[in-house]
């Protein structure tokens, strides 16, 4: 009986010791993605092209599709964010690199629902 109690205590300790770093890492990843998402939303809100395509009151709606690769305080990410304005709905594609804990958006493209063409919000329109 004594061995059973000691084994149970050791098992609880081991599971706790393994779980805490995983939980911390998940929270850190969530914060990193939220920071990038906020940066992308701000860039979209400041884009004349996004306003021309979607209208006013630009916002993200629904859940994002996220592909995140991390290594220390660096990483890469791709987000697909459903977006909406007063005229249209669409999808915002964000590709970014992180270095030293700072995200740099490399590509920020928008596609209006019903249209297959992507338009860059970072490059001037042709």
**In this predicted model, what pLDDT tens digit does every residue of 32-52 receive, in sequence order?**
888 888 989 999 999 999 999
Position 56 in a domain: yes
Q: What is the pLDDT of residue 78?
A: 94
Evaluate whether residue 15 is within a structural domain: yes
The mean pLDDT values, 10 residues at a time, for the chain of 126 residues are 64 51 54 86 93 95 86 88 96 93 91 94 72
The count of domains in the chain is: 1
Q: Is residue 21 part of a domain?
A: yes
Partner residues linked to 69 by β-bridges: 76
Report the alpha-carbon distance of residue 59 to residue 4 in Å, rounded: 56
Token pair in block for residue 2: 């004594």
- Containing structural domain, residue 47: 2-120
Residue 39 lies in a domain: yes
Please give the structure tokens belonging to residue 68.
């995140």
CATH number of the domain where residue 113 is located: 3.10.450
Residue 125 included in any domain: no
């Amino acid at each position: 009986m004594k061995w059973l109690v000691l084994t149970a205590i050791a098992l609880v300790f081991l599971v706790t010791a393994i779980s805490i770093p995983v939980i911390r890492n998940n929270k850190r990843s969530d914060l990193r993605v939220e920071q990038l998402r906020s940066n992308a939303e701000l860039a979209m809100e400041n884009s004349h092209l996004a306003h021309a395509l979607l209208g006013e009151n630009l916002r993200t709606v629904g859940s994002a599709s996220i592909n995140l690769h991390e290594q220390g305080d660096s990483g890469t990410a791709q987000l697909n964010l459903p977006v909406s304005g007063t005229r249209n709905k669409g999808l915002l594609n964000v590709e970014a690199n992180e270095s030293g804990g700072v995200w740099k958006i490399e590509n920020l493209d928008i596609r209006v629902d019903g249209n297959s063409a992507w338009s860059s919000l970072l490059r001037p329109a042709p």
